[in-house]
Amino acid sequence: MDDDDDEELSGSDFSLVDKKGNSFNESGMEGLLLFRDGTVCDDSFNNFAADLICKAMGFEPAKNWRHGYFNSTNDRYGIRLDDVYCNSTHMSIEDCQYNVEDHNCEHSEDVILACTKEERGVYRLQKTGQSWAVGIAFKSKFDHPQIEGWLCDDGLTDRTATWLCQDQLRFRYGKRAPSGEILDGKPYLRTNLSCLYEECSDLGYGDNGLTCNNDTERAAIYCYNALQEYDVNVQSFDVTPKGKVVIKLRLKYIKEGEVFSGHGDRAKSQISVEYCGQPVKLKGVYGQGGRYKISGKTSGRCESQCYTIKIGDESSHGTAC
């Protein structure tokens, strides 16, 4: 609420009317949003505001909202509320910023809103090979929400993928991955997901004809912390009493979260090894396609048996000394 506006809002202040001007409380039905028998202007209005107003009226979060004329219904009312701004820290519409009566709007900016009595759900990521599948879960059904369906890939962007990776898994980066097949026999539930910082919006799958063409359009994303890195998987690391070193490993090159196994061959000349804090004199790196055998020489076995394998200047794999 603005500092100079001492009027407080409540759920009873809001209602939805159809194109005949009749109030209703049907789930998923679009209507003109009214505040104390006047319309609400869309200035500063966002998804958080839509969700909190729907909850104040006894619904779950908003299904969708837009602005514009709702035919001649708009002209029956004055404009009563403007500059409604809410964010993720606000728990109810009373906590948000707004202006009552004071506005600079026309009816072409009136808010048209659809609420639902079904919980929209939250986004959850499930690892599938190199990428993560974007699933939908419902908080009210489990203490630890389980995925009950999938996101259709329509409208998914790298920006949205980055937000999901940062929010869900605390990765630094994300990008859209090739879409996959639906998993576990679970259906599509949402589509057209778009996220920017803390604010996301999506649409109900099947609403207004919004459907994917087949079962291979499940949204998927890559999450990663470095633009490029190497994954080193040591199969064996043996040192004889006389200091002969034999290492078997698999090396994968990862660029923006996507694995290119064969590209590891380009790193063969950059491999170096330390054993018990001392460099190993390498005699050769043999193999191709990311599968290598390394031979070398050190002064002999040490008690801790610790080692570090580096690709260039980066420590890629090792055991503590």
Query: How many independent structural domains does the chain possess?
Result: 3
User: Of 95, 115, 135, which marks where a domain is finished?
Assistant: 115
**Residues 170, 126 share a domain:** yes
**Residues 241, 172 share a domain:** no
User: Of 80, 115, 150, which marks where a domain is finished?
Assistant: 115
Give the largest Cα separation in the chain, rounded.
Answer: 94
For residue 297, the domain's CATH number is 2.60.40
More confidently predicted of 216 and 230: 216
CB atoms within 10 A of CB 3: 6
Q: Report the length, in residues, of the chain.
A: 321
Looking at residue 198, its pLDDT comes to 63
Looking at residue 290, its pLDDT comes to 85
CB atoms within 10 A of CB 292: 22
Domain span at residue 98 reads: 11-115
**Residues 69, 137 share a domain:** no
**Residues 271, 180 share a domain:** no
pLDDT in tens, 254-300: 888 887 766 667 788 889 999 998 999 999 999 988 889 999 999 98
d(CA 294, CA 296) in angstroms, rounded, equals 7
pLDDT in tens, 165-222: 988 888 889 999 999 998 888 999 888 888 876 677 787 787 667 788 788 999 999 9
Decide: 18 and 29 in contact? Cβ < 8 Å: yes
pLDDT band of residue 16 (cuts 50, 70, 90) is very high
pLDDT band of residue 231 (cuts 50, 70, 90) is confident
Element (H, E) at 54: helix 47-56
Decide: 156 and 125 in contact? Cβ < 8 Å: no
Looking at residue 32, its pLDDT comes to 95
**Residues 251, 211 share a domain:** no
1 lies in a domain?
no
**Residues 259, 215 share a domain:** no
Structure tokens at 181: 């097949």
**Residues 234, 158 share a domain:** no
For residue 111, the domain's CATH number is 3.10.250.10
pLDDT band of residue 39 (cuts 50, 70, 90) is very high
pLDDT in tens, 81-90: 999 998 877 8
**Residues 131, 95 share a domain:** no
5 lies in a domain?
no
**Residues 17, 93 share a domain:** yes
Phi-psi region of 279 (alpha: psi -120 to 50; beta: other; left: phi over 0): beta
DSSP reduced 3-state for 212: coil
**Residues 217, 175 share a domain:** yes
126 lies in a domain?
yes
140 lies in a domain?
yes
CB-side exposure of 253: number of CA atoms within 13 Å? Answer: 15
Q: What is the DSSP string of 242-294?
A: T-EEEEEEEEEEEETTEEEGGGGGGGGGGEEEEETTEE-EEEEEEEETTEEEE
**Residues 23, 103 share a domain:** yes
pLDDT in tens, 92-148: 898 899 999 888 899 999 999 988 876 666 788 999 988 999 998 875 544 556 888
Decide: 161 and 131 in contact? Cβ < 8 Å: no
